[in-house]
Amino acid sequence: MVRAAMVRAALFAAVVAAGLGLAAPLHAQTTVYIPAILELSGAGAVSGTNFRDGMLMAIDEVNAKGGILGRKINVEVLDTQSDAGISRAQLQKVLDNSPYVVLGPVFSGSVLVDMLLTQQAEIPEIVGGEGAAVTQKGDPYVFRTSFGQQFSLPKIANYIHDDVKAKTIALLWVNNDFGKGGRDSFIKEMAARNIKIVADVSTESGQVDFAADVVKIKAANADAIFVYTNEEESARFLREAKKQGITAPLIGETTLLGQKVIELAQGAADGVRGHVGLTIDAPIPAVTEFADHFKKRFNYLCDHNGIKGYTAVYIIKYVTEKMGKFDSKLFAETLHGLTISPKDEPGVLMELTFDKNGDIDRESFLGEVVNGRQKIVQILPKLGK
Amino acid sequence: MTAFVQLLVSGLATGAIYALVAVGFTLLWQTSQTINFAQGEFVMLPAFFVLAAMDAGAPFWLAAAIGMVLSVAILGLLFKLVIVDPMLKYGVLPLVISTIALSLFLKESAKDFYSSLGQPFPPLVPATDVRFLGTVVSAQSLAVLAVAIVTIAALHLLLNKTRLGRSMQATAQNPTLARILGIPVGRMVLYTFLINGALVAIASILISPIYLAKFSNGETLGMAAFLAAIIGGFNEMRGAILGGVIVGVLDNLSAAYVSSQYRGAFPLLILVAVILVRPHGLLGRAEERTV
């Protein structure tokens, strides 16, 4: 009696196991697993949230049109809390589920930690990090969605030298991988143009009080001030700078001119100038249309990270359809040296080219904040042109 | 000199806010031996009450009043009834752990309900400059300083010049004797929680235009106020005020004149020095307890 019951139980277990075994491949064949490791809280929350929302918008669009090669994108979004250690743990978790491609993170410090794992697993990682070091390690599986500092900072340096005509400059930077990488590149570029750095002020990620830093910067009496911090810190700095009556031109990168910074700075961002690799204010119809859809869906104005997340998904779609199959290793090989035009894949919004290191090249912009909006004053061509 | 005055005013303004929060720490400790490790999150939360009221259409000053009422009700009354009263009978440690859990709950709830992004918060006064003695000082810093001073002065008057305040002090010094003298000890303790609810709401409205309203603000604020309370003396309100001012001013001056990288270390160094020289704080009283 007992033996018969045990046999029945074993049979039942075997049927269930077989069912699960059959169901798993069926499920896997209808979807493709693309996880995202992003800064949804902590100092990088602005960047990570924008990246996530842009990415989700693209995924919904792609899935609504039947997915990639007939397979819908199965996305899982995990929060790094803007911490490199947590980012690595989250990545380890998703790597156990054999992802096709990994999206994120945005903070360069987290990217530098994570890319060791994706390289080992031979899984491509499309990141938002702009730190110069990301693509200087010979990792064939890491790809950017925006300019690295080694490409964007020479453009700013030219602007400071040729247009602002500054002879002295004060530098304020955030003490993380992004900020340190930017500071080192910027100092090199300034030296090459014979511009003297009269103040070199380090700030902390997540810093809230900038009174002392602004006093130091103001005392340096520089011709211009270069600000290289993350978005929320940029906004806090701008508010304090306005409070203390700073009059020298404030110049920065996308993290100083982004829409969220403008919103948080509440008027203190007016007059800020700089180089923006990606912006919703670019005079490009596809970008404007994307920004309108984004605003309609998420009820806020997207910044450059939203464009990074959105285009990353379409890069995956284009490359995979070009290959005609899902092969992570081949994906990385195919993307190196590839140019994707909006004519071939409208979702990339602007023509882009990847080099052998995973760096991206696109047109970029010089912008200025006027009446609470970013205004593009000049379009800079692709570096390769 | 101009820069020094600017830094001093800015440091005093920030320090005054720390002082408000630190006073709350000392009040709760004195009357109910509650060390509230969620005090930083208590300062973070009222800003979101205000923003929610503004989102619902209320003008800023009405929203601030609503934020204050909600803060007193939730962070004062409800905190005492739901967390402190049931836990305190098991000793200080379970209560400390409960407040740590509460801080995590409040932080994550604010993030879930209001996103992890910093939110702009209206300033008390427009961003204009005030010039005196050849230096330029922001009107915002002066307004923050003024409101904080008025609040502390009002609290001082309440505690020292009214019957209610003296009853609260008697409760803090010796609850058993206070009860024998006919003072309703339970009600006095409740009042300190309500006062703390009001103090954190004022601190929140003052600090959020500078820090932006963000779920993680409590970490910095709670730590700064806790340091201030220990430096000044955990059992003395004047000590908490002095500690707050020291932490605020020292943070600004050390960042400007010594090192911005190590600015976070200076208040800790002062704390260590105070503990070595005067373990009960700069203005605190040495306490002896029978065990």
Per-residue pLDDT at B64 exceeds 90: yes
Shortest Cα distance, chain A CAs vs residue B262, angstroms: 10
Per-residue pLDDT at A16 exceeds 60: no
pLDDT at A384 (0 to 100)? 64
Query: pLDDT digits over A139-198, tens only?
Result: 999 999 998 888 888 889 999 999 899 999 999 999 888 899 899 989 999 999 999 999
Question: Tokens representing A223?
Answer: 């011709």
* Range 73-132 of B in CB contact (< 8 A) with A: 111, 115-120, 127, 129
Question: Tokens representing A315?
Answer: 């890069």
Helix (H) / strand (E) element for A79: namely strand A77-79
B269 and chain A: CB distance < 8 Å anywhere?
no
pLDDT at A178 (0 to 100)? 83
Cβ contacts of A208 on chain B, cutoff 8 Å: 210-212, 217, 220
pLDDT at A194 (0 to 100)? 96
pLDDT at A22 (0 to 100)? 44
- What is the distance between the alpha carbons of residues A329 and B275, in angstroms, rounded to a whole number? 59
Task: Share the mean pLDDT of chain B.
Answer: 89
Domain-embedded: residue B282:
no
Task: Share the mean pLDDT of chain A.
Answer: 89
pLDDT at A20 (0 to 100)? 44
Cβ contacts of B111 on chain A, cutoff 8 Å: 41
pLDDT at A23 (0 to 100)? 44
Determine contact, residues B167/B178, Cβ cutoff 8 Å: yes
* Range 126-185 of A in CB contact (< 8 A) with B: 175
Q: Would you call A118 helix, strand, or coil by DSSP?
A: helix
What CATH number is attached to the domain comprising B204? 1.10.3470
One-letter amino acid for residue B15 of the chain:
G
Number of domains in chain B: 1
Identify the CA nearest to A298 among candidates A240, A324, A259. A259
Segment A30-55 mean pLDDT:
92
**A203, A204, A243, A299: best mutation site toward chain B, by most B Cβ within 10 Å?**
A243
Query: pLDDT digits over B227-267, tens only?
Result: 999 999 988 888 999 999 999 999 889 888 888 778 888 88
Rounded percentage of chain A residues whose pLDDT exceeds 90: 66
Domain-embedded: residue B105:
yes
Query: pLDDT digits over A292-346, tens only?
Result: 999 999 988 888 899 999 999 999 999 999 999 999 999 999 999 999 999 999 9
Q: What is the dihedral of CA A270, A274, A277, A278, to 10 degrees?
A: 10
Per-residue pLDDT at B7 exceeds 50: yes
Instruction: Place A19 in a pLDDT band, splitting at 50, 70 and 90.
Output: very low
pLDDT at A25 (0 to 100)? 43
ipTM of the complex: 0.75
Query: pLDDT digits over A263-284, tens only?
Result: 889 889 999 999 988 999 899 9
Query: pLDDT digits over B86-95, tens only?
Result: 988 888 889 9
- Calculate Rg over the CA atoms of chain A: 23
Cβ contacts of A201 on chain B, cutoff 8 Å: 260
> Which are the contacts of B173, defined by CB distance < 8 A and separation ≥ 6?
none
User: For residue B281, what are the CA distances in angstroms to A29, B39, B93?
Assistant: 67, 20, 22
Please report the DSSP string for A50-68 in residue order: HHHHHHHHHHHHHHHTT-B
Domain-embedded: residue B184:
yes
Shortest Cα distance, chain A CAs vs residue B68, angstroms: 23
Residue A284 sits at φ, ψ, to 5 deg, of -130, 120
The burial class, CB within 10 Å (0-12 / 13-18 / 19+), for A10 is exposed
Whether residues A235 and B6 touch (CB distance < 8 A) is answered with no
User: For residue A220, what are the CA distances in angstroms to A157, A354, B131, B280?
Assistant: 19, 40, 21, 42
Helix (H) / strand (E) element for A31: namely strand A31-33
Q: Which residue of A has its CA nearest to B251?
A: A212
pLDDT at B202 (0 to 100)? 96
Shortest Cα distance, chain B CAs vs residue A303, angstroms: 13
Per-residue pLDDT at B287 exceeds 80: no
Q: Which residue of A has its CA nearest to B258?
A: A212
- What is the distance between the alpha carbons of residues B210 and B203, in angstroms, rounded to a whole number? 11
Domain-embedded: residue B19:
yes
Domain-embedded: residue B287:
no
Q: Is the peptide bond before B209 cis (omega within 30 degrees of 0)?
A: no
B268-276: long-range contacts, CB 8 A cutoff, minimum separation 24 = B268/B227, B270/B231, B270/B246, B271/B227, B271/B230, B271/B231, B274/B230, B274/B231, B275/B230
- Enumerate domains of chain A plus CATH numbers: 30-147+282-363 (3.40.50.2300), 150-276 (3.40.50.2300)
Say which of B116, B220, B264 has its CB closest to residue A49.
Answer: B116
Q: Which residue of B has its CA nearest to A200?
A: B260
A83 and chain B: CB distance < 8 Å anywhere?
no
Question: Tokens representing A157?
Answer: 């340096």
Whether residues A239 and B210 touch (CB distance < 8 A) is answered with yes
β-pairing verdict for A142-144 and A125-127: parallel
Instruction: Place B106 in a pLDDT band, splitting at 50, 70 and 90.
Output: very high
Determine contact, residues A266/A293, Cβ cutoff 8 Å: no
Segment A59-78 mean pLDDT:
97
pLDDT at A12 (0 to 100)? 52
Domain-embedded: residue B285:
no
Shortest Cα distance, chain A CAs vs residue B44, angstroms: 13
Domain-embedded: residue B45:
yes
Shortest Cα distance, chain A CAs vs residue B71, angstroms: 23
* Range 214-273 of A in CB contact (< 8 A) with B: 215-216, 218-219, 232, 235-236, 239, 242-245, 260, 263-264, 266-268
The residue range of the domain holding B124 is 2-277
Instruction: Place B290 in a pLDDT band, splitting at 50, 70 and 90.
Output: low
Instruction: Place A11 in a pLDDT band, splitting at 50, 70 and 90.
Output: low
DSSP code of residue A71: B
Rounded percentage of chain B residues whose pLDDT exceeds 70: 98
A42 and chain B: CB distance < 8 Å anywhere?
yes
Per-residue pLDDT at B205 exceeds 80: yes
pLDDT at B291 (0 to 100)? 52
Domain-embedded: residue B240:
yes
Identify the CA nearest to A154 among candidates A121, A130, A178, A190. A190
pLDDT at A24 (0 to 100)? 43
Query: pLDDT digits over A107-146, tens only?
Result: 989 999 999 999 999 999 999 998 888 998 999 999 999 9
Query: pLDDT digits over A200-242, tens only?
Result: 999 988 888 898 899 889 889 999 999 999 888 999 999 889 8
Whether residues A213 and B260 touch (CB distance < 8 A) is answered with yes
pLDDT at A1 (0 to 100)? 47
Segment B173-185 mean pLDDT:
89
pLDDT at A8 (0 to 100)? 57
